[in-house]
Amino acid sequence: DGGITQSPKYLFRKEGQNVTLSCEQNLNHDAMYWYRQDPGQGLRLIYYSQIVNDFQKGDIAEGYSVSREKKESFPLTVTSAQKNPTAFYLCASSYGSGTGVLDYGYTFGSGTRLTVV
Amino acid sequence: AQKVTQAQTEISVVEKEDVTLDCVYETRDTTYYLFWYKQPPSGELVFLIRRNSFDEQNEISGRYSWNFQKSTSSFNFTITASQVVDSAVYFCALEDTSYGKLTFGQGTILTVHP
């Protein structure tokens, strides 16, 4: 079955450490997204990519980095510059903008819960 | 800039009560899409509905119904005869059709008591 796989489900980071969250999709979607969820604040966009080898900053990109070397993969690195990384991270994919009524929107992964220890 | 506001942070009801979750949005786009998602305790977002800005017909799906009013920029969600399994966080979201990005409201925590 097609879908999005995020790993790991739980991740613990020490102060000053970089960690990478994995996101893989087999839906043949062009666009992929990373969202951060904090209690009471909904989901906020970190980075998004509409095509391989291209990505754009979202609303809260500081302290994060991404790559899009393959269509199926969009890993997110939480760097030591991110001062408050404890949150729930969700990856999503879609056929991208402008696809009209044929596109039923987004598919979300099951998330990674990151905690700083 | 796009904005989505969900007025209720938390709602608590007793089973079989009807409950309405409010959603108000702001956008300068003439074409846009609105969504509702359900997030159970497991964390994954479950798609409920996607509505095109040109389609203002209300929609009903089982116990769920949605009222889209473009004049007031609202897209409210009603659960009829609520059940304990409806307990979750519900998000309203607006799609930026230029870039395919979603802007989410802050979510409404719904608790249905037996």
Interchain pair A105, B97: CB under 8 A: no
Residue B21 has a pLDDT of 98
SS (H, E, C) B30-95: CCCEEEEEEECCCCCCEEEEEEECCCCCCEEECCEEEEEEHHHCEEEEEECCCCHHHCEEEEEEEE
Q: Calculate the CA dihedral of residues A50, A115, B94, B99 and round it to 10 degrees.
A: -20
Partner residues linked to A107 by β-bridges: A93
Distance from C-alpha of A111 to C-alpha of A91, rounded to nearest angstrom: 7
Judge whether residue A9 has pLDDT over 80: yes
Judge whether residue A104 has pLDDT over 70: no
Q: Which two tokens stand for residue B52?
A: 């095109």
Residue ranges of B 2-61 with Cβ closer than 8 A to chain A: 4, 6, 9, 33, 35, 37, 42-45, 47, 50, 52
Q: Which of B43, B52, B95 has the CB atom closest to A110's CB atom?
A: B43
pLDDT in tens, A19-51: 999 999 999 998 999 999 998 778 999 999 999
Count how many residues are written for chain A. 117
